[in-house]
Amino acid sequence: MIRLEDHIREVPDFPKKGIRFKDIMPLLQSPEAFHAAISALASRVERPDAVVGIESRGFLFGAPLALHWNVPFVPARKFGKLPGATVRQVYSLEYGEDTLELHADALRRGQRTVVVDDLLATGGTARATVQLVRQLDADVVAALFVIELEGLGGRERLAPLPVHALLRMPVDE
């Protein structure tokens, strides 16, 4: 039995002093652990109509999930990275703002989607992605994460949306 937590490396003081970064690279470097993570994420929800992955590590988990379910993969990209018509959502960061975009024709009205990322912290990026999907009149049925950092309010910020995380870790761990 694969223990996913054994494949998460903690990097102290990255990207700045006092942060204990949860590094998923060991998980990605283990085909068995990576496969187990994708299978575990897929088991958390019924097959959706599309998967929306958040730039950039959400692509690493969202694309294999879309293949697993045989549904479209839709990338939520940083501003200015997508050609053609887009919808965008501005959201707050700790210091400033950022913007995410989806292609305006990426999803259909009523299409059941899941939003995927590697890590849930405060939930700002995931919430912006949910709002983008809703701009296209699609439905978000759940948000999936490999890791949830507890105590930062991400799950609460996404409520009442079902949130599924394979690992829940305290911030000070």
pLDDT tens sequence across 118-165 = 999 999 999 999 999 999 999 999 999 999 999 999 999 999 999 999
Flag whether pLDDT at 18 surpasses 90: no
Flag whether pLDDT at 43 surpasses 70: yes
The whole-angstrom separation of Cα 115 and Cα 100 is 13
- 92: its two tokens: 């707050």
CATH class of the region 47-170: alpha beta
| Residue 98 · residue 79 · CB < 8 Å | yes
Catalytic residues: 57, 94
At 19 the pLDDT is 86
- 94: its two tokens: 């700790």
DSSP line for 28-97: HH-HHHHHHHHHHHHTTS---SEEEEETTHHHHHHHHHHHHHT--EEEEEETT-S-SSEEEEEEEETTEE
Cross-strand bridge partners of residue 22? 10
Query: Considering Cα of 114, then 14, then 24, then 162, what sign does the dihedral take?
Result: negative
Pairing verdict, β 20-23 and 9-12: antiparallel
- 49: its two tokens: 């109509």
Closest C-alpha among 105, 102, 104 to residue 115: 102
pLDDT tens sequence across 61-91 = 999 999 999 999 999 999 999 999 999 999 9
Q: Which one has a higher pLDDT value, 162 or 1?
A: 162
Pairing verdict, β 73-78 and 86-93: unpaired
* pTM of the entire predicted model: 0.95
Residue 89: other Cβ atoms inside 10 A:
21
